[in-house]
Amino acid sequence: MIKSRTIKLTILAAACALLALPQAQQSNIVLKLTGGTKSRIALPDFRGAGGASAFAQVFNQTVFDDVQRSGMIEMAAKSFYPLSPPQQETDIRPTPAPVAAQRGAAPQQPTCNGRCLTDWSMPPLNANYLGFGYLAEQGGQLVAFGHLYNTTVPDVAGAKAFRKLYNGPLTEEGVRKIAHEYAADILSQFGVPSLAGSKIYFVSDRGGKGMKEIWSMDFDGANQRQLTKFNSISTMPAVSPDGQRLAFTTYSEGQPRIRVMSLETMRFLPFLNPQASMNATPSFTPDGARILFASSLAGYSSQLYIAGSDGRDLKRLSNNRAIEVEPKVNPKTGADIVFVSGRGGPQQIYRMNIDGADVTRLTPGEGEAANPAWHPDGQHIVFKWTRGFAPGNWNVFIMDVASREVVQLTHGQGRNENPTWAPDGRHIVFSSNRKGSTQIFTMLADGTEVRQLTTVGNNSMPVWVK
């Protein structure tokens, strides 16, 4: 878990910097969530022997992407790599002594074509770390021998950070598994949590005929699969903190209703919907015991309610004639909620206690704001806002809830909506139509390293969970 104080200070620093920089320079702001300078790493490609050779490209790309995606490690450009990188420990040689130069010239530093650590630590690479290894097939299984060395340590034995053996099925899924494991071990050396194993749930219309269903995928866009099959419109997914239950809104019975599904058995769980024309935008409390949602039970504009995870013990939280939706409980305290309301005019983001008291507006009333999501530290939110644009043209912003300071992450690239945080608090997933159709993207919490995860159909409303 990232220390909340560090996140708060760095996000506020980035917000202050935004005030001093023109928009064209904002993408250069580095939001250092953990502080310090980045280490630089070289990751030469693993080679594969036997049946493993067919999977080498997938392995190498997955490892490189995982380490680069962390945003905390600088990648040395592969175009400058030596021609003979090591594959195993015995390939590493001690650096020879500098060669004496002619009179008046500086001594020449010898090279080993990649077999000495100084080949990687010196210009043009200037890498602090070197990861290397090879793939093989053993007994019908895929194995990887992965190493990590600190190139700044002169002694070869002392430079070794780790050497590990990884095993998996001789399949593309198996090679991705061991690649994620090797990358996670590299990241752990820098105190960076890996996102491997986390899931993104989203809405997709790729089935056609105007239908929308809930899908899931790995954090890097792999293993996309359909979860609901109502042949209707299912939308607004939410996942319990333990990752075992999925709540969402479906029109499969005509009027919007909330359904809850077990992600272990894929069977539906009981949820008692109020007798209302609309029940929607569900979200779980941090302990998973209750669900908040919006309902038109009062007979006019939707209001906020809280109930047990089965829909019983219903309690009303808001009471006015404005539309109120999207309640999200603070994951750190469980005591306060952010939500969207039109009580002051155009929709804005508000905060209140979980019992409905002490309502305050967070956004200043300029433009329209929606889709709030809490950072894991419980001190910041990410949301969409039309500030500076005509209604309907959304961008993604971060806010420090206590100070109301904001940082804009996207800039005029279509509609950027439904942002939510990754479990590591360093990444954000969101939907955007910047390339025509609406697709799912991820980015670092400073707006850089944008990656597209989906391509088929239109995809939106992502949520990222462990």
- In the chain, where the domains are located: 41-94+112-188, 199-465
- Residues 151-162, mean pLDDT to the nearest whole number: 94
The whole-number pLDDT of residue 37 equals 64
The whole-number pLDDT of residue 72 equals 87
pTM of the complete model: 0.88
Instruction: Select 199-465's CATH number: 3.20.20.80, 3.90.1150.10, 2.120.10.30, 2.60.40.1190.
Output: 2.120.10.30
Contacts of 372 (CB under 8 A, 6+ apart): 326, 328, 338, 339, 340, 349, 362, 381, 382, 383
Q: At what angle do helices 56-69 and 172-188 cross, to 10 degrees?
A: 40
Instruction: Select 41-94+112-188's CATH number: 3.30.70.270, 3.50.30.30, 3.40.50.10070, 3.40.50.970.
Output: 3.40.50.10070
- The answer on pLDDT for 21 being more than 70 is no
- The answer on pLDDT for 299 being more than 70 is yes
The whole-number pLDDT of residue 38 equals 81
Residue in this structure with the two tokens 């990358």, named with its chain if needed: 183
- Residues 374-396, mean pLDDT to the nearest whole number: 90
SS3 (DSSP) at 74: strand
Whether the ω angle into residue 331 lies within 30 degrees of 0, i.e. cis, is no
Is the separation of the CB atoms in 17 and 25 below 8 Å? no
Q: Answer with the residue of higher pLDDT: 346 or 105.
A: 346
Strand partners, 238: 247
- Residues 197-203, mean pLDDT to the nearest whole number: 97
Q: What is the pLDDT of residues 272-294, one digit of tens each?
A: 999 999 999 999 999 999 999 99
Is the separation of the CB atoms in 441 and 429 below 8 Å? yes
- Alpha carbon of 372 to those of 103, 388, 451: distances in Å? 69, 18, 21
Closest among 422, 398, 399, 395 to 411, alpha carbons compared:
395
Contacts of 330 (CB under 8 A, 6+ apart): 286, 336, 337, 338, 374, 378
